[in-house]
Amino acid sequence: MTDRTVAELKQKIAQAREVIAHLMDKAAFNGAEAHRALDYFSGDAFDRNFLPWPHHGDGGLRPDELNAANDD
């Protein structure tokens, strides 16, 4: 990957974080999972298991199956 490609991908991730924050604000949603997403997209680390639902058949829960009771 070129330095330009890496820089553009970092900018795209920063944009994704801003979109998530904006949508959280507009929806008045301020739960733990939303903050987990913001934290994840703020850092450089990649977590293959970040998504809490099945990705390519590897298990987990779909968004509509998640228990929102853990949200603050």
pLDDT digits (tens, 9 = 90+) for 33-48: 888 888 888 888 888 8
Question: pLDDT at position 69, please?
Answer: 52
Phi, psi of 53 (to 5 degrees): -120, 170
User: In the numeric block, which tokens belong to residue 21?
Assistant: 């924050």
Kindly list the domain boundaries of the chain, sorted by start residue: 3-70
| Nearest alpha-carbon partner for 22 in 34, 33, 10 | 34
Alpha-carbon distance 70 to 72, whole Å?
Answer: 6
| Averaged pLDDT, 8-18 | 90
Phi, psi of 46 (to 5 degrees): -110, 130
Question: pLDDT at position 4, please?
Answer: 92
> Is 53 in contact with 63 (CB distance < 8 Å)?
yes
Task: Give the confidence band of 6 by pLDDT, cuts at 50, 70, 90.
Answer: very high
